[in-house]
Structures are given as structure tokens and as C-alpha cells.
Amino acid sequence: MNKQLLGVIDATTVHDDLQELSIHRSVAAIPFGGRYRLIDFILSNMVNSGIQSVAIFPKFQYRSLMDHLGSGRNWDLNRKRDGLFFFPAPNLDKHYTGIGTLDHFADNIDFFERSTQEYALIANSYTVFNMDFQPLLDWHIKSGCDITEVQKEGKSMGIYLVKKSLLMDLVMTRNETGYSNMRDVVTDIDSQFHLCYYNFEGYAAMVDTIENYFRTSMDLLKPEVWKQLFLKERPILTKVKDEPPTRYDAEASVRNSMVANGGMIEGTVENSIIARGVKIGKGTVVRNCIIMQKTQIKENCILDSVIVDKDARIEAGTVITAPAESPAVIRKGSVQGVGSGS
């Protein structure tokens, strides 16, 4: 492949409205779909599109993100040549906005100088989609564009394709041009560049509020959606764990739900996403919920429209319900219900 792409993932974004889920982790590392993290989608798309060098630019709370990505082995990015690179922001006081902050790139300009790829794909870390970037690259070259923005129904998806040499020019001249990120470059009406827009036809959802996190998760229960996201030929890769298959008890009743491995289901589960290693006790009803990794829900609870973060414990007999349009969030590691003192 001579028309190679460099992958650049901006993982600096903070969405205030996702704070309940991002107190301990960057938005990129928010668990999604029972066994994934949000960043898995863009990262897998890059790898599946033949991108062999990916740079991650995180800023806040990136411990869980680094733990998740590790050496990049699960994405086949543990390479001697190219592979996965991690460039945390050195300066936490500087406020970044938009996707692809040029200051952040400037701090790591050596990386761009050294990399051999001719083009760079700059993307956000919180979009749930499955996209092949090769047709985008072919189209970009054929159309003679300087910068291509990927859009969905006329709205920016926060993904930009640019020649690496032009990206480096943008970084070098950022003080003269006043452009601080890729959005500034693309939205400048006096721009001297040939700007193009590429429409993505498939399913795509940007997760930036609790409401759309919940809605996007629930979308996974629609076969027409998961058929677009989970393709055999372009799998969404993630950090794999050695969990046994999920065990369903004699009294278990599970309908219209996605369930990851390592679970023990004794109760009733409907319209829900159940992550790895979750225990749901006898007589408990979990409906329209997202239950994250290793959470335990004891006997005779009722949960409706609740997002339960990792490692939480819901004591027996607890009832938590919320309206579907504003789901309740139970924080990571917390204990809820009888005897919990809360």
C-alpha cells in the first residue's frame, strides 16, 4: 500500500453532560455495548481500514484509557515499525476545544515528522460507527481536496482527512492563521483551501450526553443497527478478557438483550445491555438498563432505565426506576439499597 494513512485520535474531549460516567475516566474510555470502550470503534475502524500507525492524544484521566489500550496487541498495533503511540498533553492548564488541537500536535511534531504516511486521518474518540476509510481516501485524492470533513446528514462527524504535509503547515502557522484546531480550519469562510465534505451513509452516533449514551446503547438492540456495527469482515476489536461463557439459571428469563461473557443471570432481563461478569440475582427484574462490568445486583430488585457503572453493588430488594428520557446513573463502585446508608 503506497497511499498510507496515519491515524490520529483526539481523546482530549470532555463533555460536561457525561460527567457522571467520566469522573474516573476519559470519554474515550467510557464502557459501551457490554464489552467495548467508546474508543474501540474509531480505533478498530482505522485498523480495519489498513491504518498501521495510530497516535492517541489524551488529556485528562487517561489511566483507564492506557490500561485498556496497553501495547495495542488487541488491535494488532504492537508492531516494531509503526503501531500505537500515546501523546498525553503536557499542559493541563491550556484549554482545548474542537477536534485536532494544533497546539497539542505541535508539542509532538517530531512524531509527525518521523512518520512515513502521506495522509493523516484526524478523528474524535466517541463516535459509535463502523466505517472503511479507504474509499474516503480514494475519493479525497480523486477529488483533489485539501481537507475532507466526514459528515453524517450534513453534520460534521469530527473526522478530517488531510495530507500530512498540509497538517504540519497548519501546525507551524497556527499563530499567524489563528486556527487552533481542525474545525477552525474547515469552518473559515475565507479559507484558501479546497474543502470537501464526504457523506457517511451508515449508522453513526456521537456520544456526548447521558441521554444519547443511553439511546445509542439501546440502538444496539435493534438488529438493523448491530448488523451495521458488528461486521465479521470489519470487527470492532477490544481488550479481550478470559471470562467464561455467561450462565443462565433455571429461573432466568432474558429477552431482547445483549449479554457479554462471565455473567450469572438468575433473574429477569429485558431490553438491556449487560456487560462482562455481571451477576443478576433471583427475582430481580432489570428492564431498559445498561449494567456495566462486574456489577452485582442481588435478589428481588427492580431496575428500570438505569445506567449502573462498573463494580457497583445493588443490595437485595432495591427499587430504582427513572423515566426513559432521563435515565438514572449509579456511580462506579457504589453500593445502593438496604443497609448501604444512601
- Minimum gap (Å) between residue 342 Cβ and other proteins: 27
Q: How far apart are CA 126 and CA 108, in angstroms?
A: 22
CA distance 184 to 163: 17
Q: Pick the closest to residue 17 from 147, 142, 126, 171 (CA basis).
A: 126
Cβ of residue 295: shortest distance to other proteins, in angstroms?
A: 15
Report the C-alpha gap between 258 and 35 in whole angstroms.
10
Give least dist CB 123 to other proteins, A: 21
120 vs 274, beta carbon nearer other proteins: 274
Nearest to 184 by CA among 56, 212, 175: 175
Cα torsion through 183, 186, 191, 197, rounded to 10: 180
Q: Closest CB to other proteins among 270 and 315?
A: 270
Which residue do the cell numbers 453532560 mark? 17
Question: Where do contacts with other proteins occur on this chain (CB under 8 A)?
Answer: 33-35, 74, 221, 223, 226, 229-230, 235-238, 240-242, 244-262, 264, 273-275
Q: Nearest distance from residue 236's CB to other proteins, in Å?
A: 7
Provide, rounded to whole angstroms, the least separation between the CB of residue 278 and other proteins: 11
Residue 170 or 308: which CB sits closer to other proteins?
308
Cell of 102: 494544533
Closest approach of other proteins to the CB of residue 180, in Å: 37
Query: Of 92 and 250, which has the nearer Cβ to other proteins?
Result: 250
35 versus 59: smaller Cβ distance to other proteins = 35
Report the C-alpha gap between 35 and 31 in whole angstroms. 7
Residue number with CB closer to other proteins (168 or 221):
221
Task: Judge residue 224's burial from the number of C-beta atoms within 10 Å of its C-beta, 0-12 exposed, 13-18 middle, 19 or more buried.
Answer: exposed
